[in-house]
Structure 1
Amino acid sequence: MLIGAIETHFTGWDWAVVAFYMVFTTWIGHVMSGKAATVKDFFLGGRSMPWWAVSGSMIATEISALTFIGVPGGVYAAQGDWTYLQWGIGSIIARFIVGYWLVPLYYAREIYSPYDFMGNRLGEPVRKLVTLLFSLGAILGQSVRVLVTAVILYAVTGWSMTWCIVAIGVFALAWTLMGGMRTVIWTDVIQFGVFLLGGVLALSWLVSHLGWDEIVAVNRGFTTPEGVAVDKMRIFDFTLPWENSLLNYTFWVGVIAMPFQNLAAFGTDQLNAQRMFCCGSQHEARKAMLWSSVAIATTLLMLAVGSGLFAWYQIKGLTPDEAAKFAEDPNNVFPVWIVTVLPPGLTGLILAGAFAAAISSLDSVLAALSQTTLSAVLGREKVEAEEGSARMVKLSRWTVVIWAIFLTSFAVWMAASRKDAEDKNLIDLAFGMVAYTYGPLLGILLAAILQGRRSFIGIVIGVVLSMALVAWVRPELPRLLEALQISPEALVQSRPQIAFPWFYPINAILTLACSMLPIGRIERDTDS
């Protein structure tokens, strides 16, 4: 391999494969989508999607380029290992709870989102509040996924991050407008297949050239420059929370905190829940949810790829260009390896899958944001009454356009603000950003389901306190204060020492408790 700019390894053949793949996927999505004649067709796929396609779409959205790039990058980092896999325990627990508890509740009446359910139970002000929370969480969380794919484009093309993000946004907008959720789901299924193929091909290449035993030996026998021995294939960490409250990847986080996170992700986040509503019955929706648990196998595959990449560069060494890219951001390791090691054409196919997967994640959130916005602004009754009108479908499409511009712009801002960040772990960044909203959303859902009187003022208090707690611990507020030329020193020195995953259960319980305050009582509709 010649020493030179990384970008020169991405050949004309690769660009041709990327172009063909994007056009082919767009065509397939168009053919499979049918005509979105009503709002239900546009947002829920006419509630006629097969469960296996919905399940594949759930997996593709959950995995996305974040897992494809962030997981190998996390393993490659000096202190990286496989402990991230412990989070999968909580994910599987939550899917069974959603499938057997929430799905029957949601399918009892024809609704478009969990926010319709919460609004029906607790009133229109609550519906608008949770829609606002979802919108905020979608902007924070999905902008990271856009950023991940921009990292790939940047690594292999040398384009500016801004142009990389804009290109992703334009394609996502086109795919969403093409046919709504039918297009989103069918293109997701294609992306999942290519993602899986890319991971298998990469691991097979690494094993065939290094040998699995050699990969294991290098990863288990690694010592950092500081002389610290690291088992980079370690899975379990049983450190108790009171022994070290700052660890994100422990067994206790996996079995206690992450079920709350995944309950919020699959039960209250319209990005995922919208897929459930595309099934024709609660039985089909439950099957789609439970079978999406196989996503953990994809995570395991990408962890193995990360260990293979670490062994590859420990044995083969780094060129100056590679060393510079990896020092800039460990998440560059997999795209750079794909471009510089794999043969032309295959490089283009795998990276095209990564691009398309990120686009499919973005078009999913655009569809979800648009649906919830219309429901909150116009009222669910008006949307349902005019669901077959050309005016409402046109309005749905314009809402998609507005959100696409906003979300792309926010991703551009995040890319600029991330340049000086010390922590480059994209997995932590993505999950940390949704910590602002997932706890409150789950708390409000529990307030809607569980018996007892509720207070709208109390719910608002719980939401404000929850978000303030996260802002106190997360790094975003100090960075904002610094940008405003305000010293964040006092804030940083007083912050509690706690890992962000614990805010999922803490804030859910806090919001639920505040909803019971004896002020501003809500007249509950328990028949919804």
Structure 2
Amino acid sequence: MSPYCTIIPIAIYFGVLVGISKLTAGKKDNQTFFKANKKAPWYLVAFGMVGVSLSGLTFISVPGAVESNSFSYLQMVMGNVVGYWLIMWVLLPLYYKMNLTSIYSYLGSRYGKRSQKTGSFFFLLSRVIGASLRLYLVALVLRPLIFAPLNIPFAVTVAITIALVWLYTHKGGIKTIVWTDTLQTFFLLAAMLVFVFWLSGQLNGFGAAFDQLSEQNLSQVFFWEVNDGRQFFRSFLTGILMTLVMNGLDQDMMQKNLTCRSLKEANKNMFSLSLIFFIVNALFLFLGGFLTLYAQQKGIDAKGDELFGAVAQQASGFFYVMFILGVIAATYSSADSALTSLTTAFCVDFLAIEKRPTDQQIALRKKAHIGFSVVLFVVILIFGSLNNRGLIFLLFTAAGFTYGPLLGMYAFGLFTRKKVSDLFVPVIAVLSPVVAYLIKENAVSLFGTRLTFEILLINGAMTFIALFLMSKGNVEEDT
């Protein structure tokens, strides 16, 4: 397809997003931007959060991994579901009881302001790297299709990518995102379902296609061998922990939950999300299996992350456009909420915006929103200059270490009444991921095995133990 044929549906898509932002912006004050005035319908929040949970990386990588890992990913998804339920039972009641805007205000209440800023800093670091990586990847997808044929430089490609996010989030913030993410989740799921039904038809029907998956042992879900990296209990526990920290302790994900009218509605949102999330991931695995079979049938030599795009390119223009819209929807549903949550966390935790005069609050929030747009732009350009996928994903992995201290800090605060000096908490939180990284790098010589997601639990446990060793007495009141 010519770049002009590709750009038309994309332009229409973003035109709709901007139109939604104008309709939903409301008063444009900080309560609208940060909390949607606590009036967001829970069912829209739940549906929209599916798209946020499934980034562009998931859209591409989960189907591409079926050939090598069968349906084993579903074991982790089962753990994800339990993780969502734990958030519903443990964390959401706390956040609603304290009426939080930034969830890291809990750390300030429990330990002190330094701890609050430490937790928020770890979130900011993780989210900047993660959102930049996702936007970098979508820029790479769009560049050969649109920008390179038109001789538009990479920096301009990135600037347009960031500007589009800013354009439909700068007024309404989270209130707008509740609605735009609903639309983007719809397009993401529509793209997936279009390919599932089309591919099943190409493979003589869903039943025949599933039989082929079974014959090639591509539909196996459970793996029980202890030494297998796909082993059930290992994957299941990983799913629980990753959901707890990357959703329950993440301002980006929790900010949407806090837009619901009440704890009861937030719980409905979380429970519905867990069920939809499971079903959607199961469908993505079927998609991956069908893509694998179709590629074998047509002699398409592509594997892993390249598989979905390669099959889409072999299909008609409609299917290719649906693939592009699916990638964009998956990526932007994560990026827009990331920009809003970065702005919220920084304004609340570092600028103490809620304590400033009313006439300063909106101006500060707007400056922070523009500032983080610039930060994302710069980080994406750095990724582009590195020109090394391995190094980029290493940075993404390193950012994941920052969730360990958050896990330890929250666990210690929730399950003990011990007092810890606010001076010690930031030091412990910084040292724990450093030690955890050293353990991970030397795991084979120390334990005779590689550590993957288990390092998150080790990181959190070290933080918890260090806080316990530095504690004195008990807190006097519940936070």
Is TM > 0.5 for Structure 1 vs Structure 2? yes
Distance 1:305 1:415 in 2: 30
Show the counterpart of 1:6.
none
Show the counterpart of 1:297.
279
Distance 1:164 1:266 in 2: 30
Which of residues 266, 283, 303 in structure 2 aligns to 1:285? 266
Superposition pairs for residues 350-369 of structure 1, below 5 Å?
A: 350-369=323-342
- Structure 1 residues 495 and 28: CA distance shift in structure 2, 3 A: farther
Cα distance, 1:12 vs structure 2: 3.7
Show the counterpart of 1:483.
none
Contact 1:22 1:352 in 2 (8 A): no
Show the counterpart of 1:260.
241
- Structure 1 residues 84 and 378: CA distance shift in structure 2, 3 A: same
Distance 1:444 1:262 in 2: 16
Cα deviations by residue, 1:48-87 (Å, 9 ceiling, x for unpaired): 11111111222111013222112122235xx242211111
Which of residues 22, 28, 31 in structure 2 aligns to 1:36? 28
Q: Indicate whether 1:516 and 2:468 are aligned.
A: yes
Cα deviations by residue, 1:133-185 (Å, 9 ceiling, x for unpaired): 11111123223322342343246447376554443222112222131111111
Structure 1 stretch displaced more, 62-71 or 352-361: 352-361
Cα deviations by residue, 1:1-39 (Å, 9 ceiling, x for unpaired): xxxxxxxx35644321111111012202321232312x1
Show the counterpart of 1:24.
16
Show the counterpart of 1:108.
97
Contact 2:417 2:474 in 1 (8 A): no
Cα deviations by residue, 1:233-272 (Å, 9 ceiling, x for unpaired): 22222232xx35xx2x331123323212211122210010
Contact 1:133 1:437 in 2 (8 A): yes
Show the counterpart of 1:239.
225
Q: Indicate whether 1:316 and 2:298 are aligned.
A: yes
Superposition pairs for residues 139-154 of structure 1, below 5 Å?
A: 139-154=128-143
- Structure 1 residues 253 and 153: CA distance shift in structure 2, 3 A: farther
Show the counterpart of 2:305.
331
Show the counterpart of 1:414.
383
Identity of aligned residues (%): 23
Q: Which amino acid aligns with 1:113?
A: S
- Structure 1 residues 297 and 154: CA distance shift in structure 2, 3 A: farther
Cα deviations by residue, 1:196-230 (Å, 9 ceiling, x for unpaired): 111110111101111235544554555xxxxxxxx
Contact 1:14 1:347 in 2 (8 A): no
Distance 2:473 2:321 in 1: 56
Distance 2:395 2:62 in 1: 12
Contact 2:246 2:403 in 1 (8 A): yes
- Structure 1 residues 352 and 110: CA distance shift in structure 2, 3 A: same
Show the counterpart of 2:320.
347
Cα distance, 1:305 vs structure 2: 1.2
Cα deviations by residue, 1:459-502 (Å, 9 ceiling, x for unpaired): 34542343114433678xxxxxxxxxxxxxxx798686433211
Q: Indicate whether 1:450 and 2:415 are aligned.
A: yes
Superposition pairs for residues 391-406 of structure 1, below 5 Å?
A: 391-406=360-375
Which of residues 103, 120, 124 in structure 1 aligns to 2:109? 120
Show the counterpart of 2:42.
51
Distance 2:4 2:351 in 1: 49
Q: Secondary structure at the match of 2:270?
A: helix
Cα distance, 1:351 vs structure 2: 1.7
Q: Which amino acid aligns with 1:290?
A: F
Q: Which amino acid aligns with 2:106?
A: F
Distance 1:390 1:354 in 2: 40
Cα distance, 1:343 vs structure 2: 3.3
Cα distance, 1:280 vs structure 2: 1.4
Q: Indicate whether 1:526 and 2:462 are aligned.
A: no
Q: Secondary structure at the match of 1:178?
A: coil
Cα distance, 1:106 vs structure 2: 1.2
